[in-house]
Structure 1
Protein backbone atom coordinates (compact mmCIF):
# COMPACT_ATOMS: atom_id res chain seq x y z
CA UNK A 1 0.00 0.00 0.00
CA UNK A 2 2.82 2.40 0.89
CA UNK A 3 4.47 1.70 -2.46
CA UNK A 4 1.25 2.41 -4.29
CA UNK A 5 0.81 5.75 -2.51
CA UNK A 6 4.45 6.63 -3.19
CA UNK A 7 4.06 5.69 -6.85
CA UNK A 8 0.96 7.85 -7.31
CA UNK A 9 2.53 10.74 -5.40
CA UNK A 10 5.64 10.67 -7.59
CA UNK A 11 3.57 10.29 -10.76
CA UNK A 12 1.46 13.30 -9.81
CA UNK A 13 4.53 15.38 -8.98
CA UNK A 14 6.25 14.50 -12.26
CA UNK A 15 3.16 15.18 -14.38
CA UNK A 16 2.48 18.49 -12.62
CA UNK A 17 6.08 19.57 -13.15
CA UNK A 18 6.02 18.55 -16.82
CA UNK A 19 2.88 20.54 -17.54
CA UNK A 20 3.97 23.63 -15.62
CA UNK A 21 7.41 24.07 -17.17
CA UNK A 22 8.38 27.54 -18.28
CA UNK A 23 11.15 28.12 -20.77
CA UNK A 24 13.25 31.21 -20.16
CA UNK A 25 14.35 32.80 -23.43
CA UNK A 26 16.68 35.79 -23.59
CA UNK A 27 16.73 37.57 -26.96
CA UNK A 28 19.40 40.09 -27.89
CA UNK A 29 20.52 41.75 -31.07
CA UNK A 30 24.16 41.23 -32.04
CA UNK A 31 26.55 43.92 -30.81
CA UNK A 32 27.98 46.67 -33.01
CA UNK A 33 29.54 45.36 -36.20
CA UNK A 34 32.61 46.59 -38.02
CA UNK A 35 31.37 48.86 -40.83
CA UNK A 36 34.76 49.77 -42.32
CA UNK A 37 34.18 47.57 -45.38
CA UNK A 38 30.62 48.03 -46.72
CA UNK A 39 31.17 45.09 -49.09
CA UNK A 40 31.75 42.65 -46.21
CA UNK A 41 28.52 40.66 -45.73
CA UNK A 42 29.84 38.89 -42.61
CA UNK A 43 31.85 41.42 -40.59
CA UNK A 44 33.32 40.88 -37.15
CA UNK A 45 32.28 42.97 -34.18
CA UNK A 46 33.84 46.41 -33.97
CA UNK A 47 35.85 47.47 -30.91
CA UNK A 48 32.66 49.02 -29.54
CA UNK A 49 30.83 45.76 -30.25
CA UNK A 50 33.38 43.71 -28.32
CA UNK A 51 32.91 46.06 -25.36
CA UNK A 52 29.13 45.62 -25.61
CA UNK A 53 29.50 41.82 -25.76
CA UNK A 54 31.54 42.01 -22.55
CA UNK A 55 28.82 44.23 -21.03
CA UNK A 56 26.27 41.56 -21.98
CA UNK A 57 28.29 38.97 -20.06
CA UNK A 58 28.33 41.26 -17.02
CA UNK A 59 24.57 41.89 -17.29
CA UNK A 60 23.85 38.13 -17.51
CA UNK A 61 26.54 36.90 -15.10
CA UNK A 62 24.03 35.23 -12.76
CA UNK A 63 22.08 33.47 -15.53
CA UNK A 64 22.99 29.86 -16.23
CA UNK A 65 22.24 29.06 -19.87
CA UNK A 66 21.54 25.57 -21.12
CA UNK A 67 22.00 26.47 -24.78
CA UNK A 68 22.45 29.41 -27.10
CA UNK A 69 21.10 30.03 -30.59
CA UNK A 70 22.79 32.21 -33.18
CA UNK A 71 22.43 32.96 -36.84
CA UNK A 72 25.44 31.68 -38.82
CA UNK A 73 27.11 35.12 -38.89
CA UNK A 74 30.31 36.00 -37.07
CA UNK A 75 28.78 39.02 -35.32
CA UNK A 76 26.00 36.99 -33.65
CA UNK A 77 28.40 34.27 -32.52
CA UNK A 78 30.91 36.84 -31.25
CA UNK A 79 28.16 38.57 -29.26
CA UNK A 80 27.65 35.33 -27.33
CA UNK A 81 31.36 34.47 -27.00
CA UNK A 82 31.74 36.19 -23.61
CA UNK A 83 28.93 34.11 -22.09
CA UNK A 84 29.33 30.67 -20.60
CA UNK A 85 27.10 28.51 -22.77
CA UNK A 86 27.57 24.73 -23.11
CA UNK A 87 26.45 24.71 -26.75
CA UNK A 88 25.57 27.31 -29.42
CA UNK A 89 23.35 26.15 -32.28
CA UNK A 90 22.84 27.95 -35.58
CA UNK A 91 19.30 28.76 -36.65
CA UNK A 92 18.02 30.09 -39.97
CA UNK A 93 14.67 31.69 -39.18
CA UNK A 94 12.39 32.39 -36.20
CA UNK A 95 10.04 29.47 -36.96
CA UNK A 96 12.80 26.85 -37.05
CA UNK A 97 14.25 28.35 -33.86
CA UNK A 98 10.94 28.12 -31.99
CA UNK A 99 10.31 24.59 -33.30
CA UNK A 100 13.74 23.48 -32.05
CA UNK A 101 13.22 25.05 -28.62
CA UNK A 102 9.75 23.52 -28.21
CA UNK A 103 11.01 20.11 -29.27
CA UNK A 104 14.29 19.99 -27.34
CA UNK A 105 14.57 22.71 -24.68
CA UNK A 106 11.27 23.13 -22.82
CA UNK A 107 11.98 24.12 -19.24
CA UNK A 108 15.51 25.27 -20.08
CA UNK A 109 17.18 28.69 -20.12
CA UNK A 110 18.37 29.80 -23.53
CA UNK A 111 19.75 32.88 -25.22
CA UNK A 112 19.18 33.90 -28.83
CA UNK A 113 21.35 36.34 -30.77
CA UNK A 114 19.53 37.88 -33.72
CA UNK A 115 19.47 40.96 -35.91
CA UNK A 116 17.57 44.26 -35.91
CA UNK A 117 15.07 42.85 -38.40
CA UNK A 118 14.53 39.50 -36.61
CA UNK A 119 14.56 40.14 -32.84
CA UNK A 120 10.94 41.31 -32.66
CA UNK A 121 9.84 38.52 -35.03
CA UNK A 122 11.48 36.00 -32.70
CA UNK A 123 9.55 37.42 -29.73
CA UNK A 124 6.28 37.11 -31.67
CA UNK A 125 7.16 33.59 -32.85
CA UNK A 126 7.42 32.53 -29.19
CA UNK A 127 3.95 33.97 -28.56
CA UNK A 128 4.99 37.30 -27.07
CA UNK A 129 3.73 40.77 -27.86
CA UNK A 130 6.16 43.20 -29.49
CA UNK A 131 7.51 45.38 -26.67
CA UNK A 132 8.29 48.15 -29.16
CA UNK A 133 7.30 48.98 -32.72
CA UNK A 134 10.70 48.37 -34.30
CA UNK A 135 14.45 48.08 -33.75
CA UNK A 136 16.58 50.41 -35.82
CA UNK A 137 20.07 49.78 -37.17
CA UNK A 138 21.36 51.78 -34.19
CA UNK A 139 19.58 49.79 -31.47
CA UNK A 140 22.21 47.57 -29.87
CA UNK A 141 21.48 47.97 -26.16
CA UNK A 142 18.12 46.23 -25.77
CA UNK A 143 17.65 42.79 -24.28
CA UNK A 144 14.38 40.92 -23.93
CA UNK A 145 13.52 38.25 -21.39
CA UNK A 146 10.69 35.94 -22.32
CA UNK A 147 8.96 33.52 -19.99
CA UNK A 148 7.41 31.02 -22.39
CA UNK A 149 4.69 28.56 -21.45
CA UNK A 150 3.01 26.63 -24.24
CA UNK A 151 2.30 29.17 -27.01
CA UNK A 152 2.34 32.31 -24.84
CA UNK A 153 5.23 34.45 -23.69
CA UNK A 154 5.52 37.24 -21.15
CA UNK A 155 8.08 39.78 -22.33
CA UNK A 156 10.28 42.11 -20.31
CA UNK A 157 12.47 44.70 -22.02
CA UNK A 158 15.69 46.09 -20.57
CA UNK A 159 18.89 47.78 -21.67
CA UNK A 160 22.51 46.88 -20.98
CA UNK A 161 25.92 48.43 -21.56
CA UNK A 162 26.41 51.97 -22.75
CA UNK A 163 22.99 53.39 -23.68
CA UNK A 164 22.62 53.86 -27.40
CA UNK A 165 19.89 56.43 -26.87
CA UNK A 166 21.59 59.29 -25.10
Structure 2
Protein backbone atom coordinates (compact mmCIF):
# COMPACT_ATOMS: atom_id res chain seq x y z
CA UNK A 1 0.00 0.00 0.00
CA UNK A 2 2.85 2.34 0.88
CA UNK A 3 4.49 1.73 -2.52
CA UNK A 4 1.17 2.41 -4.25
CA UNK A 5 0.84 5.78 -2.52
CA UNK A 6 4.42 6.70 -3.43
CA UNK A 7 3.86 5.75 -7.07
CA UNK A 8 0.63 7.81 -7.19
CA UNK A 9 2.43 10.77 -5.64
CA UNK A 10 5.28 10.54 -8.15
CA UNK A 11 2.83 10.29 -11.06
CA UNK A 12 0.93 13.34 -9.78
CA UNK A 13 4.10 15.41 -9.34
CA UNK A 14 5.38 14.30 -12.75
CA UNK A 15 2.06 15.21 -14.40
CA UNK A 16 2.10 18.66 -12.80
CA UNK A 17 5.70 19.21 -13.90
CA UNK A 18 4.84 18.27 -17.48
CA UNK A 19 1.81 20.60 -17.47
CA UNK A 20 3.87 23.43 -15.96
CA UNK A 21 6.30 23.13 -18.87
CA UNK A 22 3.61 23.27 -21.57
CA UNK A 23 3.22 26.61 -23.27
CA UNK A 24 -0.02 28.48 -23.78
CA UNK A 25 -0.05 30.12 -27.20
CA UNK A 26 -2.51 32.96 -27.76
CA UNK A 27 -3.02 34.54 -31.16
CA UNK A 28 -4.45 38.06 -30.89
CA UNK A 29 -5.95 40.01 -33.78
CA UNK A 30 -8.13 43.01 -34.30
CA UNK A 31 -11.37 42.36 -36.15
CA UNK A 32 -11.16 42.62 -39.93
CA UNK A 33 -12.30 45.63 -41.94
CA UNK A 34 -15.90 46.64 -41.23
CA UNK A 35 -18.58 48.38 -43.27
CA UNK A 36 -18.40 52.13 -42.63
CA UNK A 37 -21.21 53.46 -44.84
CA UNK A 38 -23.64 54.16 -41.98
CA UNK A 39 -22.01 56.13 -39.13
CA UNK A 40 -25.05 55.41 -36.92
CA UNK A 41 -24.50 51.63 -37.19
CA UNK A 42 -22.95 50.51 -33.88
CA UNK A 43 -22.53 46.86 -34.90
CA UNK A 44 -21.53 46.73 -38.57
CA UNK A 45 -20.68 43.57 -40.45
CA UNK A 46 -17.44 43.01 -42.31
CA UNK A 47 -16.78 44.75 -45.59
CA UNK A 48 -15.79 42.64 -48.62
CA UNK A 49 -12.13 43.38 -47.73
CA UNK A 50 -12.84 42.28 -44.17
CA UNK A 51 -14.38 39.02 -45.36
CA UNK A 52 -11.24 38.38 -47.42
CA UNK A 53 -9.08 39.13 -44.37
CA UNK A 54 -11.13 36.74 -42.21
CA UNK A 55 -10.52 34.02 -44.81
CA UNK A 56 -6.81 34.90 -44.81
CA UNK A 57 -6.74 34.54 -41.01
CA UNK A 58 -8.32 31.09 -41.28
CA UNK A 59 -5.68 30.13 -43.84
CA UNK A 60 -2.88 31.59 -41.71
CA UNK A 61 -3.89 29.68 -38.57
CA UNK A 62 -5.34 26.48 -40.04
CA UNK A 63 -2.27 24.39 -39.16
CA UNK A 64 -1.92 25.74 -35.62
CA UNK A 65 -4.47 23.38 -34.01
CA UNK A 66 -6.55 26.15 -32.46
CA UNK A 67 -8.44 24.82 -29.43
CA UNK A 68 -10.67 27.84 -28.70
CA UNK A 69 -11.67 31.12 -30.29
CA UNK A 70 -12.78 34.08 -28.18
CA UNK A 71 -14.52 37.16 -29.57
CA UNK A 72 -16.30 40.18 -28.21
CA UNK A 73 -20.06 40.16 -28.78
CA UNK A 74 -19.98 42.15 -32.02
CA UNK A 75 -20.66 40.99 -35.58
CA UNK A 76 -17.29 42.20 -36.87
CA UNK A 77 -15.27 40.25 -34.27
CA UNK A 78 -17.34 37.09 -34.57
CA UNK A 79 -17.24 37.22 -38.37
CA UNK A 80 -13.45 37.61 -38.25
CA UNK A 81 -13.09 34.35 -36.34
CA UNK A 82 -15.93 32.49 -38.03
CA UNK A 83 -14.12 31.11 -41.13
CA UNK A 84 -11.51 29.45 -38.91
CA UNK A 85 -14.10 28.23 -36.40
CA UNK A 86 -16.17 26.79 -39.23
CA UNK A 87 -13.15 25.14 -40.84
CA UNK A 88 -12.03 23.40 -37.63
CA UNK A 89 -15.53 22.73 -36.27
CA UNK A 90 -15.61 24.75 -33.05
CA UNK A 91 -17.90 27.46 -31.68
CA UNK A 92 -16.76 30.98 -30.92
CA UNK A 93 -16.93 31.93 -27.25
CA UNK A 94 -17.74 35.52 -26.35
CA UNK A 95 -15.88 37.53 -23.74
CA UNK A 96 -16.40 40.96 -22.23
CA UNK A 97 -13.44 43.26 -23.02
CA UNK A 98 -13.83 44.76 -19.52
CA UNK A 99 -12.91 41.32 -18.14
CA UNK A 100 -9.84 40.69 -20.28
CA UNK A 101 -7.55 40.29 -17.27
CA UNK A 102 -9.86 37.64 -15.77
CA UNK A 103 -9.95 35.78 -19.11
CA UNK A 104 -6.15 35.89 -19.36
CA UNK A 105 -5.74 34.63 -15.80
CA UNK A 106 -8.20 31.79 -16.43
CA UNK A 107 -6.43 30.75 -19.64
CA UNK A 108 -2.95 30.94 -18.09
CA UNK A 109 -4.10 28.66 -15.26
CA UNK A 110 -6.24 26.22 -17.24
CA UNK A 111 -5.14 26.17 -20.87
CA UNK A 112 -1.48 25.18 -20.74
CA UNK A 113 -0.53 23.41 -23.95
CA UNK A 114 -3.45 24.97 -25.84
CA UNK A 115 -3.60 27.33 -28.81
CA UNK A 116 -6.18 30.11 -28.51
CA UNK A 117 -7.35 32.86 -30.86
CA UNK A 118 -8.72 36.09 -29.37
CA UNK A 119 -10.37 38.65 -31.66
CA UNK A 120 -10.58 42.16 -30.25
CA UNK A 121 -10.68 45.79 -31.29
CA UNK A 122 -8.09 48.47 -32.08
CA UNK A 123 -8.35 49.78 -28.50
CA UNK A 124 -8.25 46.35 -26.79
CA UNK A 125 -5.68 44.25 -28.68
CA UNK A 126 -2.65 45.67 -26.86
CA UNK A 127 -4.48 45.42 -23.51
CA UNK A 128 -5.06 41.73 -24.21
CA UNK A 129 -1.32 41.24 -24.77
CA UNK A 130 -0.56 43.05 -21.50
CA UNK A 131 -3.17 40.96 -19.64
CA UNK A 132 -1.11 37.87 -20.50
CA UNK A 133 2.02 39.56 -19.12
CA UNK A 134 3.46 40.68 -22.45
CA UNK A 135 4.74 44.10 -23.38
CA UNK A 136 3.08 46.18 -26.06
CA UNK A 137 5.05 45.33 -29.22
CA UNK A 138 3.80 48.27 -31.30
CA UNK A 139 2.42 51.77 -30.83
CA UNK A 140 -1.36 52.04 -30.31
CA UNK A 141 -3.33 50.70 -33.25
CA UNK A 142 -5.11 53.11 -35.57
CA UNK A 143 -8.43 52.67 -37.30
CA UNK A 144 -6.50 51.40 -40.34
CA UNK A 145 -4.52 48.66 -38.58
CA UNK A 146 -6.17 45.39 -39.54
CA UNK A 147 -3.32 43.11 -40.56
CA UNK A 148 -1.41 42.56 -37.31
CA UNK A 149 -1.21 39.04 -35.90
CA UNK A 150 0.30 38.94 -32.42
CA UNK A 151 1.46 35.64 -30.95
CA UNK A 152 1.75 35.57 -27.16
CA UNK A 153 3.47 32.50 -25.73
CA UNK A 154 3.23 31.94 -21.98
CA UNK A 155 5.45 29.25 -20.49
CA UNK A 156 5.65 29.40 -16.72
CA UNK A 157 6.67 32.96 -15.84
CA UNK A 158 8.19 33.62 -19.28
CA UNK A 159 6.08 35.56 -21.80
CA UNK A 160 7.14 36.10 -25.40
CA UNK A 161 5.30 38.31 -27.91
CA UNK A 162 5.86 38.04 -31.66
CA UNK A 163 4.39 40.38 -34.24
CA UNK A 164 3.57 39.38 -37.79
CA UNK A 165 1.06 40.35 -40.45
CA UNK A 166 -1.48 38.40 -42.45
CA UNK A 167 -3.77 38.96 -45.40
CA UNK A 168 -3.59 41.97 -47.71
CA UNK A 169 -0.96 44.38 -46.42
CA UNK A 170 -1.47 48.09 -46.07
CA UNK A 171 1.78 48.80 -44.23
CA UNK A 172 5.33 49.62 -45.22
CA UNK A 173 8.38 48.57 -43.24
CA UNK A 174 8.15 51.81 -41.28
CA UNK A 175 4.67 50.86 -40.14
CA UNK A 176 2.96 53.61 -42.13
CA UNK A 177 -0.08 52.92 -44.26
CA UNK A 178 0.53 52.22 -47.93
CA UNK A 179 -1.42 54.27 -50.40
CA UNK A 180 -4.80 52.68 -50.92
CA UNK A 181 -6.09 51.94 -54.44
CA UNK A 182 -6.86 55.02 -56.42
CA UNK A 183 -10.53 55.91 -56.71
CA UNK A 184 -10.28 57.10 -60.33
TM-score of the two chains, using structure 1 as the length reference? 0.90
2:34–2:45: 8 Å Cα contact kept in structure 1? Answer: yes
Residue 131 of structure 1: aligned partner: 137
Aligned residue for 1:61, secondary structure, equals helix
In the aligned structure 1, how far is the partner of 2:75 from the partner of 2:56?
18
**Larger proportion of helix:** 2
2:108–2:132: 8 Å Cα contact kept in structure 1? Answer: no
Structure 1 portions without partners, runs of 5+: none
- Structure with higher Rg: it is 2
In the aligned structure 1, how far is the partner of 2:62 from the partner of 2:30?
18
| Residue 93 of structure 2 corresponds to residue 92 of structure 1 | no
In the aligned structure 2, how far is the partner of 1:85 from the partner of 1:144?
23
The number of aligned residues is: 166
**Which residues of 2 match residues 132-147 of structure 1 at below 5 A?**
132-147=138-153
Aligned residue for 2:153, secondary structure, equals strand
RMSD: 2.1
Residue 82 of structure 2: aligned partner: 81
TM-score of the two chains, using structure 2 as the length reference? 0.81
Q: CA deviation at 1:15?
A: 2.2
**Which residues of 2 match residues 1-166 of structure 1 at below 5 A?**
7=8, 10-83=11-84, 84=88, 86-93=90-97, 94-150=100-156, 152-165=158-171, 166=178
Aligned residue for 1:60, secondary structure, equals helix
